[in-house]
Amino acid sequence: MTTWLPASGLTAFGLQQFMDGVNLLLWLISPAVAVVLALLHATLLVRGLLSYRWFRRAPYLPRRAGEPLIDYAMRIAGTELPPGHEDEHGEQAERLLVAALLEDLRQAYRRRLFPWAWPGWGRHTYPVVGIKHADPGTAGRRFVELVEEIRVGTGQRGPLLLVVSTSVPPPAHHARFDGGGASTPRPSCTPNGAGPCAGSSPARTS
100-149 pLDDT per residue, tens: 999 988 888 887 776 555 666 677 888 999 999 999 999 999 999 999 99
Type of residue found at 17 = Q
The lowest-confidence range among 66-75, 95-104, 172-181, 189-198 is 189-198
Which one has a higher pLDDT value, 43 or 145?
145
Query: Would you state the pLDDT for residue 68?
Result: 85
8 A C-beta contact, residue 150 and residue 144: no
Residues 6+ apart with CB under 8 A from 159: 105, 106, 109, 126, 127
Q: Is 54 exposed, middle or buried (0-12, 13-18, 19+ CB in 10 A)?
A: middle
Exposure string of 106-128, with b = 16+ CB inside 10 Å and e = fewer, is beebeeeeeeeeeeeeeeeeeee
Q: At 4, is the pLDDT very low, low, confident or very high (cuts 50, 70, 90)?
A: low
Which of 147, 117, 107 lies closest to 131, judged by CA? 147
Question: What pLDDT sits at residue 146?
Answer: 93
Question: According to the model, what pLDDT value does residue 101 have?
Answer: 93
Taking the mean position of all CA atoms in its chain, how far away is CA 166? 27
β-bridge pairing 175-177 and 128-131: unpaired
The overall pTM is greater than 0.85:
no
Report the Cα 19 to chain-centroid distance in Å.
48
